[in-house]
């Protein structure tokens, strides 16, 4: 084969043999008619072994009739964008609308809910029952649309809550009924361009003019402009502004004031400038704005004076002399925002899981052997491993959210610290979980997860903001660790036992983890409690030792804490995980023996073991051996397999009406058929 022609002929012969199948191959690969993919409702082939209504009551905990009533109110109104897809009707905002159109629809929906009496008693009545009903409404609205929930929250929870908690009778009489009736539109101006989490460092300055009995508010520099203020860009008529208060040349710290920013006709008031924050990755139904104050004058009575006041002649008055305690008193009522965010994030995770699980129970892919049907996605162990641990986490975190709501609505001055620490830990942990869950569910739905109408992918952009508003998650977790360290130092200094924050386990001896972990041990609630407490105990001791070492080297208390950030992060996570596990156990303990309790035990064990598997701290600090870590991993697989038959019942127990899910959660073939295009 010396010539090019010979070489070409040889190559052609080889290629011909390669691409020409043998007769036997042709026989095996001969084309046969294949039945088209069809939708089979999971409800027809999935079994239910426990009472779904009872499970839902356990998850929602309160105001179930009020929730269902509001769900129905939304479904029945054309304002909430009902649309028929295939044979079903779904409700969700039209995210194809422009930013301006989305904002207009958000306001129309909010005003409709006001007219329907949804917010009756919200600011004029008090008590745990009233607060729980408000939270139930927030849960439902969050399931429908985050923009609507934020605008509702800015007016009622933030503006209205500030009037309630920071104000006194003169403010209550003037503003609370007006707020409840939506006779004005309130917003909440705390965040600045230069300061978000560090509220103490905000730069807006307020002084007092005793000659005219007025406060004068000024934005001294560009970094002091109020930023991200929900409702400010277009709609709000009034705001609660947080500002440094300077009296007679002395800075008395951050205080809150009522300021009118627009008149009844929507015109911006004198000495105030407002600009739009513009388009965002989500929440475009919220008109976030920026505000500058150019020596704006307000009456002395507009100081919210439950904590401190200024007399007509300009004397600063407060029963709380310590500036740190005074600042803490100002921030304590703001905990409600973190509570609502934590709980609502779990309801959004439920949307993602209900959609992805239902899709996986009807979508098939690949056959495991010839002449057999394709396999349901959720029958693949790998798919179970992706979704079912997230279901277990969502259940456990639902119970933690319920506990948080319970302690919040029954808070006292003595429990405020506990509420702050628990709400900070859960706000961070639950919102992180939501984003991770939505991402996994989006991927588990394949290309269908990219479609806006299927909600899961779009919800990521809508709820991403929860990781940073009402407190950056990383900062909140540092606050948790700082509180735990403070409790540790106090017990050492005062030689007293630990009390509160579930730290009583520190008073006893350290738990001993068995050298070999069997399946029965791994599923034992006592073992799970022991290993979670062991991790927290060890991390708290390590963190305290590191901070103490830094202090001995002459570093300031704050700098010593900052240098220990890695242990602080691990400790904050350990506290949150332990809190979630213990509240999950409390919920399980209230259920009588039977199928429901059995399923809850599986969920609790899967939650505990997936935390053991995912957090490297257990291995890093020697709480688990490599062999035991392998045992944990295998048990996670076993638990996923055991929970698989309950998967549809578990997501059905979330209590989310079908209309609030999406087409791929049901007959996705019908929803994508040619006939649906013609609708």
Q: What is the DSSP string of 439-465?
A: HHHHHHTGGGGGSGGG-HHHHHHHHGG
Tokens coding 50? 């426990």
Write down the residue that tokens 């006592």 correspond to. Answer: 526
* Torsion 73-395-398-150 (CA) sign: negative
Measuring CA to CA, which residue among 512, 544, 536, 549 is closest to residue 617?
A: 536
Task: Tell how strand 309-310 and strand 288-293 pair up.
Answer: unpaired
The answer on whether 153 is annotated among ligand-binding residues is no
Is 191 annotated among the ligand-binding residues? yes
Residue of 306, 14, 41, 281 whose CA lies nearest to 171? 306
Query: What stretches of 450-556 show up as alpha helix (H) in DSSP?
Result: 456-463, 473-494, 519-522, 525-552
Q: Which pair of tokens denotes residue 421?
A: 């620490």
Q: Which of 110, 103, 104 is nearest to 156 (CA)?
A: 110
The whole-angstrom distance between residue 253's C-alpha and the CA centroid of its chain comes to 31
Phi, psi of 661 (to 5 degrees): -95, -130
Q: CA torsion 493→496→499→502, rounded to 10°?
A: 70
Long-range contacts of 375-382 (CB under 8 A, 24+ apart): 377/444, 378/644, 378/647, 379/644, 381/637, 381/640, 381/641
The whole-angstrom separation of Cα 108 and Cα 591 is 43
Q: How far apart are CA 99 and CA 568, in angstroms?
A: 40
**Tally of CB atoms within 10 A around 17:** 9
Residue with tokens 């921030």: 331
- The rounded distance, in Å, linking the Cα atoms of 409 and 77 is 32
* Active-site choice (180, 203, 440, 470): 470
Q: Judge contact between 310 and 303, C-beta under 8 A.
A: yes
CA distance 128 to 339: 14
Phi, psi of 256 (to 5 degrees): -115, 140
Closest CA to 136 of 123, 119, 151: 119
Backbone φ and ψ of 238, nearest 5°: -140, 160
CA–CA dist 249, 675 (Å, integer) = 74
Based on the residue annotation, tell me whether 569 is a catalytic residue of this protein: no
| C-alpha closest to that of 83 among 72, 93, 73 | 93
Count the helix, strand and coil residues of the chain and give each as a percent rounded to the nearest 5.
60, 10, 30
Question: Do the beta carbons of residue 631 and residue 613 sit within 8 Å?
Answer: no
Tokens of residue 529, six digits: 């409690």
Q: Cβ(405)–Cβ(339) under 8 Å?
A: yes
Contact 214, 299 (CB under 8 A): yes
Q: What tokens does 413 get?
A: 């001055």
Cα–Cα distances in angstroms (integers) from residue 573 to residues 348, 449, 583, in the given order? 22, 30, 16
Q: Per the annotation, where are the binding residues for FAD?
A: 191, 230
Active-site annotation, residues: 470
């Amino acid at each position: 084969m010396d010539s090019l022609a010979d070489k070409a002929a040889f190559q052609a012969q080889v290629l011909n043999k390669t691409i020409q199948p043998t007769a036997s191959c042709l026989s095996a690969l001969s084309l046969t008619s294949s039945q088209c993919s069809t939708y089979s409702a999971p409800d027809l082939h999935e079994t239910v072994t426990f009472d779904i209504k009872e499970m839902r009551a356990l998850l929602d905990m309160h105001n179930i009739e009020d929730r269902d009533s509001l769900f129905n109110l939304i479904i029945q109104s054309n304002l909430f964008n009902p649309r028929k897809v295939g044979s079903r009707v779904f409700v969700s905002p039209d995210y194809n609308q422009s930013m301006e159109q989305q904002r207009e629809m958000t306001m129309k929906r909010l005003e409709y809910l006001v007219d329907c009496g949804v917010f009756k008693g919200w600011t004029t009545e008090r008590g745990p029952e009233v607060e729980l009903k408000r939270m139930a409404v927030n849960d439902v609205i969050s399931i429908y649309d985050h923009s609507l929930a934020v605008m509702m929250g800015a007016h009622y929870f933030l503006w209205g809550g500030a009037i309630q908690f920071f104000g006194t009778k003169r403010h209550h009489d003037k503003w609370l009924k007006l707020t409840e009736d939506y006779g004005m539109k309130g917003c909440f101006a705390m965040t600045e361009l230069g300061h978000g989490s560090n509220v103490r460092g905000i730069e807006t300055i307020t002084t007092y003019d005793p000659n005219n009995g007025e406060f004068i508010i000024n934005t001294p520099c560009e970094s002091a402009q109020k930023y991200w203020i929900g409702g400010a860009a277009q709609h709000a008529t009034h705001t609660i502004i947080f500002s440094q208060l300077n009296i007679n040349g002395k800075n008395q710290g951050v205080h809150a004031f009522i300021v009118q920013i627009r008149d009844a006709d929507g015109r911006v008031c004198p000495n105030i400038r407002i600009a739009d924050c513009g388009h965002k990755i989500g929440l475009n139904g919220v008109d976030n704005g920026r505000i500058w104050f150019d020596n704006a004058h307000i009456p002395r009575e507009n100081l919210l004076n439950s904590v401190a006041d200024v007399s007509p002649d300009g004397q600063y008055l407060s029963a709380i002399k310590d500036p740190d305690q005074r600042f803490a008193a100002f921030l304590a009522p703001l905990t409600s925002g973190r509570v609502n965010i934590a709980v609502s994030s779990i309801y959004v995770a439920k949307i993602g899981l209900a959609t992805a699980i239902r899709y996986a129970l009807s979508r098939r892919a690949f056959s495991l052997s010839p002449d057999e049907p394709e396999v349901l996605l959720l029958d693949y162990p790998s798919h179970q491993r992706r979704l079912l641990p997230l279901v277990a986490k969502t259940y456990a975190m639902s119970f933690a959210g319920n506990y948080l709501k319970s302690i919040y609505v029954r808070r006292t001055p003595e429990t405020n610290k506990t509420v702050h620490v628990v709400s900070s830990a859960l706000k961070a942990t639950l919102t992180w979980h939501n984003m991770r869950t939505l991402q996994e569910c989006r991927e588990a739905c394949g290309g269908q997860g990219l479609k806006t109408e299927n909600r899961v992918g779009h919800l990521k952009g809508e709820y991403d903001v929860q990781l940073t508003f009402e407190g950056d998650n990383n900062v909140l977790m540092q606050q948790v660790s700082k509180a735990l360290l403070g409790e540790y130092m106090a017990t050492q200094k005062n030689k007293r036992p630990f009390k509160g924050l579930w730290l009583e386990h520190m008073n006893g001896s350290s738990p001993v983890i068995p050298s070999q972990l069997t399946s029965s041990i791994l599923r034992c609630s006592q073992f799970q409690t022991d290993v979670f407490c062991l991790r927290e105990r060890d991390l708290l001791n390590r963190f305290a030792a590191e901070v103490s070492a830094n202090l001995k080297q002459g570093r300031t208390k704050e700098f010593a804490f900052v240098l220990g950030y890695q242990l602080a992060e691990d400790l904050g996570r350990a506290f949150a995980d332990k809190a979630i596990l213990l509240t999950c156990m409390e919920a399980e303990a209230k259920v009588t023996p039977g199928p429901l309790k059995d399923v809850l035990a599986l969920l609790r064990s899967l939650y505990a073991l997936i935390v053991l598997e995912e957090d490297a701290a257990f291995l890093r600090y020697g709480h688990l051996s490599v062999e035991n870590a392998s045992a944990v991993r295998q048990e996670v697989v076993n638990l996923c397999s055991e929970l698989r038959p309950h998967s549809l019942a578990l997501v059905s127990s979330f209590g989310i009406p079908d209309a609030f899910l999406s087409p791929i959660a049901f007959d996705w073939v019908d929803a994508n058929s040619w006939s649906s295009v013609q609708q």
